[in-house]
Amino acid sequence: MNKGFHWVLGVCLVLTLQACNDSKRDAFYRSGIIYCSESNPVNFNPQTDTSSTTADATAHQLYDRLMDFDAETGQIIPSIASSWKVSDDGLVYTFQLKKGVTFHTTAYFTPTRTLNADDIIFSINRWRDPTNPYHNISGGRYPYFESLGLAKNIAEVNRINSYRIEIVIKQKDSSFLANLASDFSIILSAEYADYLLNQGTPERIDDFPIGTGPFKFQSYRKDHYIRFEKHNDYWGDTSLTSDHLIYDITPKSSIRLAKLITGECDAIAFPAQTELEIIRNREELALSEKPGLNVGFWAFNTKKYPFNNPKVRKALALAIDKNTLLEAVYFESATRAKTLLPNASWAFQSDAEDTAYNPVLARELLDEAGVAPGFTMSIWAMPVERAYNPNATKMAELIQRYLSAVGIQANIVTYDWTTFRRHLREGRHDSVLIGWSADNGDPDNFYRPLLSCSAIPSGTNRAMWCNKRYDQLIDEALQTQNTQRRKAIYEQVNRLIYDELPLVPIAHAYRYQAYRKDLKGMVINPYGGIRFVGVTKVQ
């Protein structure tokens, strides 16, 4: 029997089970949009986590930001801030807030006022100010902001009046507005925070969320579902937004697809590359795609011997055939990566140097570095599917064979996603197959979180590589608004990464969104989490 037969047989079994369960689904499920997600969020506050699972479940459903990105153009557009201005010296940002923006009313909290400047100040000070009473709640980690060094560059956040705030920064930062428009720069309720402090339960702020977004939280059952309902007093247009939204947590890709086919799910997360043609060939399904602002890579733990030696890292990079990895894992749904930046970025460098498959030279370099045949190392493979790496385990198996050909024995390591990420942050890995999806279109959103010194404690610098020259260059790039000057600096950065190879860029993948055709308004958001505002189901 071939693989296709096995897949169809498996789907048929699932379809039978789903048909049996269909009559048991309650009215809540039938009246809303059902999204099959791949995993559980860490919590319901994306400030505390860079996982796309958490962002998908929270950033654009429960919350708003001062600004947002237009999903089509990438331009920064107003959100809670109706307008803003920047001082001539580039150090003072003033934001005018919308009036009448309402917070969610839920079973666990009823707000007494609309949004004002106090909420913006609280939301920013929570992640930037260690003395804020909420700073250490939920572990006190804010990896996105830590990786960018954003808190250190903010001198003051001032209340001018109830609907105007001022942020003063210490050094010019041409990516500052883009960072405030990212998924992680959400606005929380200061009134709710005060209420929880008075109740002695501040930890509830991240598990029982209150925001201003188009949906409000209703309930969550780990490994099963998240339920949201429409925020009827939302400041934006929700006339074409479904009354209910349900996340059906379904880790296995084939089961997600089966549920999409049966109609138990209206849209699914991360369709497998092998499933794309099946989706395209079904009349009732739609598949949208866009070039992704992402990169999948193989990072080496430069804090460990012998990966602290650039010669060893170069040897490992030469030992693998990136083209074969792309063909076997991405099935023509990705482009080969030379640098961290995809060609969708304005700073993309088409003539950047790239490593080539050369196992003979790889073995010579290993000998020169004193790494004898038989050396054993680990390759950590993500246990979840991501656009930038849809099958890390398969890629690890291929790399394992390549390394065996140059005398290196590689062991493949994986854990559940939460444990995997915790152990990575602790530096237990020798190497890891992972990646990054940009939260905005600025090149700094790749360079700084992935390889800067400040990104090591935050856990986004998986190579644990700290290079002062690198940090100087990416800092210099933010001091100018001139894109050509910045691009020239990033070319120097690319050369430094190529010479040092703390990680090997492998692929820039397309982003896909699979959904049923009776779902209207679905748009791929290239700058972060999925959005369900403006999405409705035709009955």
- Residue 322 sits in the same domain as residue 261: no
Angle of CA points 151, 152, 154, to nearest 5°: 65
Crossing angle of the two packed helices 322-329 and 392-405, in degrees rounded to 10:
150
Q: How many CB atoms neighbour CB 77 within 10 A?
A: 12
Determine how β-strand 375-381 pairs with β-strand 431-437: parallel
- Residue 429 sits in the same domain as residue 462: yes
Looking at residue 52, its pLDDT comes to 86
In a domain, 58, yes or no: no
In a domain, 61, yes or no: no
Crossing angle of the two packed helices 310-318 and 483-500, in degrees rounded to 10:
90
Tens of each residue's pLDDT in the chain, 539 residues? 444 444 444 444 444 444 444 444 455 556 699 999 999 999 999 999 988 899 999 999 999 999 999 887 778 999 999 999 999 999 999 999 999 999 999 999 999 999 999 999 999 999 999 999 999 999 999 999 998 889 999 999 999 999 999 999 999 999 999 999 999 999 999 999 999 999 999 999 999 999 999 999 999 999 999 999 999 999 999 999 999 999 999 999 999 999 999 999 999 998 988 899 999 999 999 999 988 889 999 999 999 999 999 999 999 999 999 999 999 999 888 999 999 999 888 999 999 999 999 999 999 999 999 999 999 999 999 998 888 999 999 999 999 999 999 999 999 999 998 899 999 999 999 999 999 988 787 899 999 999 999 999 988 999 999 999 999 999 999 999 899 999 999 999 999 999 999 999 999 999 899 999 999 999 888 777 899 999 999 87
In a domain, 146, yes or no: yes
Q: What's the CA gap between 370 and 315, in Å, rounded?
A: 12
Q: Which residues contact 428 (CB under 8 A, 6 or more apart)?
A: none
State pTM to two decimals: 0.81
Cα dist from 329 to 136, 192, 354, 380, 394, whole Å:
40, 46, 20, 16, 7
- What are 276's two structure tokens? 């794309």
Determine how β-strand 519-520 pairs with β-strand 285-291: unpaired
Please report, to the nearest 10 degrees, the dihedral formed by the alpha carbons of residues 139, 143, 148, 153 taken in order.
-20
Read off the DSSP letter of residue 205.
G
Looking at residue 28, its pLDDT comes to 55
- Residue 279 sits in the same domain as residue 191: no
- Residue 276 sits in the same domain as residue 323: no
- Residue 493 sits in the same domain as residue 377: yes
- Cβ proximity of 443 and 178 under 8 Å: no
- Cβ proximity of 222 and 40 under 8 Å: yes
Q: What's the CA gap between 468 and 457, in Å, rounded?
A: 16
Amino acid identity, position 58: T
Q: Which residues contact 101 (CB under 8 A, 6 or more apart)?
A: 64, 80, 114, 115, 212, 235
Sign of CA dihedral 310, 311, 312, 318: positive
CATH classification of the domain holding 28: 3.40.190.10
Which residue among 143, 177, 206 closes a domain? 206
- Residue 439 sits in the same domain as residue 308: yes
- Residue 29 sits in the same domain as residue 166: no
CATH classification of the domain holding 142: 3.90.76.10
Read off the DSSP letter of residue 345.
S
Which residue among 141, 176, 206 closes a domain? 206
Using the structure block, give the residue that is written with the tokens 């709710």.
192
- Cβ proximity of 52 and 66 under 8 Å: no
- Residue 101 sits in the same domain as residue 169: yes
CATH classification of the domain holding 395: 3.10.105.10
Q: Is 74 exposed, middle or buried (0-12, 13-18, 19+ CB in 10 A)?
A: middle
- Residue 335 sits in the same domain as residue 467: yes
Which residue among 155, 186, 206 closes a domain? 206
- Residue 520 sits in the same domain as residue 506: no
Phi first, then psi, for residue 10 (nearest 5°) are: -65, -45
Q: What total of structural domains would you count in the chain?
A: 3
- Residue 500 sits in the same domain as residue 517: no
In a domain, 62, yes or no: no
In a domain, 103, yes or no: yes
In a domain, 347, yes or no: yes
SS3 292: coil
- Residue 322 sits in the same domain as residue 224: no
In a domain, 87, yes or no: yes
Q: Which residues contact 211 (CB under 8 A, 6 or more apart)?
A: 62, 63, 64, 103, 104, 186, 187, 188, 189
Looking at residue 30, its pLDDT comes to 62
In a domain, 112, yes or no: yes
Looking at residue 29, its pLDDT comes to 56
- Structural domain range at position 298: 294-511
Q: What's the CA gap between 436 and 497, in Å, rounded?
A: 16
Length of the chain: 539
